[in-house]
A and B are shown apart, each in its own frame.
Chain A
Amino acid sequence: MLKKLFMLIVAGFLLASCAATKTEQGGDADAASSSASSSSGGEITAGTQEDLIVNVGDRVFFEFDSSELTVDAQATLDAQAAWLMQYPDTNITVEGHADERGTREYNLALGDKRAFSVYSYLAQSGIDTNRMEYVSWGKERPEVIGSDETAYSQNRRGVTLVSN
């Protein structure tokens, strides 16, 4: 898993720098992003949310009732930190989410702790906190609808969103 992630990350950097060059040359952000939205192997504008999703990974996952970063999560965040270093004008909002197996209010608190775990890991990795905000959505915005562990494991997440 870790190895796979790492390879993805390396591939991501290559793609990202490639795309960055193209954007600079083309100078048409709209055209670049619309071509990026065509799915397979299309051009992705460097430094965008899509770049982050495809080439780095925009999210980390948590264990039940936990806001601790797993080893996998830390690897993803190392890559996010490197990516954020590469695009110093990019600001982000980190969203913390919970699965539906907790009360609404407890999960708001838990989502906040999860978002903060991501936020503070990135801060410790050298990302200026002026570039980052975080917010909890508790169990209000599941990524996957469903009342089973498959859905829950995808919903216990911290998501990094490019905000500018």
Chain B
Amino acid sequence: MIKKILVILFFSLSANAALDVTISQGKVEPTPIAITQIFGEDSETARYGNTLRQIINNNLTNSGLFYTVNEDLYIQSDNLVEKVPRFEDWKLIKAQFLLSADVSKTDKGIRLRMRLYDVFNRKEIEKLQLTIPDEDLIRRVGHTVSDIVYERITGETGYFDTRIVYVSEIGPLDQRVKRLAIMDQDGHLDSHQFLTDGKNLVLTPRFAPNNQIITYMEYKNNLPRVYIYNLKTGEREIVGDFPGMTFAPRFSPDSQSVIMSFSDPNTANSELYLMDLNTRSLSRLTNDSGIDTSPSFSPNGEKIVFNSDRGGSPQLFIMDKNGDNIRRISKGRGTYGNPVWSPRGDLIAFTKLTQGNFHIGVMDTNGNNERVIVRDFALESPAWSPNGRYLIFHRQKRSNLDGTGGEVTINFIDITGYNERIIPTPLDGSDPAWSPLL
């Protein structure tokens, strides 16, 4: 929807902006940006402006790649959408970039106009005008503007106009009520929505790359099976008619198939299967007496990384998409799980358990250059941001015999290991998965 609006109304005027992010030993120096008030023409549009400014400010700051210059320092306080800024004033307070915008009402709806300036080079580098029919889309406008600013300045693809599906948790740890829930990537409460009622245990949701469908596992009638959930229609449907447990589902990159584990009821041995959602045809990919689970496709669909204990302990393996050429890639000490292929294709994120702690790390796709990003008592379920720069995962505290503890949060971290923060959720949260750009 927004995309359509953007195509119609997006006017980008700019030459190439240089990648203006300083990277020293992995730590990124955030780029200073000033965001003026987003001006309205009356109290209603001013309110939209405030909301938008907050969203943009939070997004850019939370990325770790920007910091917003303190508003108290601003020398110029005008609307700079139709007026050339006094660049010297902004340079003086060390704003490297400057964003100004206003909101007005037209007969087509709510209109936002935005200008992004490169203060040091004294020029406009982005210009945008978009109109939405009603205020329901305000948050998405904020995310879209954030993406444009992020992309223009860092040269990387944005990730703000995206959503996170996760498992919301409440209740005693031995009778946990789990519900599927979805929210904007910033976790804003206004965007939060429960998708299931908590009657059945649900686990491990994943987005389809086309973004309108998720796949997950549900204990319906106490039978653990893989389902798909159409976010547009609200329809839920079981994937296949299996006589035993199906679990650990993910979509193929073309969204046409689901890869998952199926536990043969005559052996209780888990193997990986690929089901074509159109033809419902099934292909078996692994055949080994060990556990085979947690599959993840490479973004080009040619390879699959998965978790197997075929060598005695849980490790990471890679195979061709048809199941050929299986080889182990995890090389370090400890046991590995949860491999997830980066959307950029170059890295695999994983969970590792060693010396009493869980670790979330990344490695090259051949297992080389393993690097731990975060270590704690209980960490799990890494998932990539669509631009491949960040991971989200869940972090759980120790629990105690009296039933206290065990709080679990969804956390965000730059793969450099910096800028970790909790993504707020109304209840506890686990098993996060990130949508592609909307």
Contact residues of A with B, CB < 8 Å? Answer: 65, 67, 93, 100-106, 108-110, 112-113, 115-117, 119, 134-136, 138, 140-147, 150-151
Contacts and interface: CB of A to CB of B under 8 A. Distances in A.
Given A103-B314, A109-B293, 20 more contacts: A102-B337, A104-B204, A105-B293, A105-B337, A105-B338, A106-B293, A106-B314, A108-B217, A110-B291, A112-B270, A113-B268, A119-B268, A134-B268, A135-B223, A140-B203, A142-B173, A144-B174, A145-B403, A150-B401, A151-B399
Interface in B216-249: 217, 222-224, 244-245, 247-248
Chain B: interface residue count, which band?
Answer: 35 or more
Contacts of A119: 268
Contacts of A65: 309, 313-314, 335
Contacts of B248: 105, 108
Given A104-B380, A106-B314, A136-B263, A144 B401 contact: yes
Given A112-B245, A112-B270, A135-B245, A104 B431 contact: yes
B291 A135 contact: no
Contacts of B223: 135
A102 B314 contact: yes
Nearest to B167: A104
29 contacts: A65-B309, A65-B314, A93-B222, A102-B314, A102-B335, A103-B337, A103-B351, A104-B204, A104-B380, A104-B381, A105-B248, A105-B294, A105-B337, A108-B224, A109-B291, A112-B245, A112-B268, A115-B268, A116-B268, A119-B268, A142-B173, A144-B401, A145-B401, A145-B406, A146-B400, A147-B378, A147-B405, A147-B406, A151-B401
A106 B222 contact: no
Contacts of B307: 103, 105-106
Interface string B302-328: 000001010001100000000000000
B278 interface: no
B352 to A, nearest CB: 10
Contacts of A102: 314, 335, 337, 353
B267 A116 contact: yes
A134 B248 CA distance: 19
B269 interface: yes
A29 to B, nearest CB: 24
A10 B377 CA distance: 43
B301 interface: no
B270 A135 contact: no
B284 to A, nearest CB: 16
A145 B397 CA distance: 12
B292 to A, nearest CB: 8
B270 to A, nearest CB: 4
Given A105-B338, A147-B399, A140 B268 contact: no
Nearest to A146: B401
Contacts of A138: 203
Contacts of A147: 377-378, 398-400, 405-406
Most chain B CB atoms below 10 A, which of A103, A119, A136 = A103
A117 B268 CA distance: 9
A106 B291 contact: yes
Nearest to A95: B222
Contacts of A134: 268
